[in-house]
Amino acid sequence: MGAVLIISFLLLLVLGVPIALSIGVSALIVMVLDGMPLEALPQTLFAGVNSFALVAVPFFVLAGDLLAKGGISDRIVAFAEATLGRIRGGLSIVSVVASMFIAAISGSGAATTAAVGSALLPQLKEKGYDLDFSAALIAAAGTIGVVIPPSVPMVLYAVIVGVPVSKLFMAGFVPGVLMGGILILYALHVARRRGYPASERRPLSVRLTLFLKALWGLMTPVIILGGIFSGWFTPSEAAAIAVVYSLFVAMFIYRTLAPRQVYKLVVNSGVTSALIMFIIATAKIFGWELAFYEIPDTVARAMLYVAGDSRLMVYLMIVIMLLIAGMFMETASALIILTPIFLPSIVGIGGNLIHFGLLITVGLAIGMATPPVAIDIYVASAITGLTLEEISRPIVPMVAALIAVLLALTYVPWITLILPRLVYGVV
């Protein structure tokens, strides 16, 4: 029956059935064929989403929408451009730095790409930057949106594995900065080679004015992450506070959102959150059946047999499978499905669960910039009007650079674990 579960799931995916239905229908087929009581289906579906930590998901989705539509991201980008734009190719740096900062608010790769792309891509085109390169850079930088905390995939991983969300969040800072750093270095190399211009130097008074305008937005990650790491509130409570704060700033400070627009944003984020929750619910029954038929244990034994005693080989096989899965599956769906499958292998080699949580997050995040299922590229395409192919060509070396960071994180665990160990001790 385990083979039926996997084959039916893959067949439904190939036929173009939505991922949530593919997961649920394949699990239901096995239940019927194996004579399992169908009463277990609704009970297991409910158990899949019956977690306080998952409250953070819809709130972070809504906070990301408020960030993009409420003028908060525009002011942050304007301040970054005035500060860093005077360097040759400075707008490329601004694209990445702004993505890193907005990642600390939105928790979403697509939201980060949309916020930065909408604000900067017209300026990049006007200043003489190649539009395909600029769109690719912003799409690649959007992957940082789920690595620097807060992060929706990290919340999902924490619920599945049972590790503290706060430790995962703390572990995400250094990998996110490394991803941003390597993209900045590549962007500067391209800027010098192609002769991209530097923006005019802004007077100190102008930079100060832009800083004051952006200050309310700049305080958002300070409030969210400061509250979490200080212990004032949980990640789920922080997500709700992020929504309230972003709503207050957009409506009453910047006055960029009307009540009717807020209603539309709430509805849209509700639809997105419902889809994520449905995937989580169906993945619960799918994961239960995987465990019942001992598929994760079988995969773990096969990997350990192939790799022998080599932890390096086990991690390499997992990284390769994560990168392939990220090319064809949406990040949250892939994480929910693959985490229970790989977990026994990680436990079997004595791997650290916080470290593995960052590996699976970064590995699948890179998939957001890797065709054919590359949500960040689709967002950049919608903003610029460029085709998927036109953005995919210049993004290849950027993805290669991000994979290099992933391999460094894989084989040098202290890069990921240094901050959690400094703050929390043993992790």
Structure tokens that stand for 227 in this block:
């509250």
**Is 360 in contact with 342 (CB distance < 8 Å)?**
yes
Whether 376 and 142 have beta carbons less than 8 Å apart is answered as yes
DSSP 67: H
Highest mean pLDDT among 125-129, 221-225, 357-361: 357-361
- Rounded CA-CA distance 213/209 in Å is 6
94 close to 81: Cβ distance less than 8 angstroms: yes
Is the pLDDT assigned to residue 326 strictly greater than 80?
yes
Residues making up the chain, counted from first to last: 427
Tens of pLDDT, residue by residue over 64-93, are 778 777 777 778 777 777 777 677 777 888
pLDDT at position 426, please? 67
pLDDT, averaged across the chain: 83
Q: Where are the chain's structural domains? A: 2-424
Q: Other CB atoms closer than 10 Å to residue 68's CB: what's the count?
A: 26
Average confidence (pLDDT) over 186-200: 82
Cα 299 to Cα 347: distance, rounded to the nearest angstrom? 13
Residue 411's pLDDT band, with cuts at 50, 70 and 90, is very high
CA distance 26 to 43: 17
Predicted TM-score (pTM) of this structure = 0.82
b (16+ CB within 10 A) / e for 194-219 = eebeebeebeeeeeeebeebbebbbe
Decide if 47 contacts 284 (C-beta within 8 A).
Answer: yes
Q: SS3 of 102, please?
A: helix
Q: What's the per-residue H, E or C state across 195-212?
A: CCCCCCCCCHHHHHHHHH
pLDDT digits (tens, 9 = 90+) for 33-57: 878 887 778 887 887 777 777 777 7
pLDDT at residue 355 is higher than 90: yes
Tell me the pLDDT tens digit for each residue of 125-159: 877 888 999 999 999 998 998 899 888 889 889 98
Element housing 169 (H / E) = helix 165-171
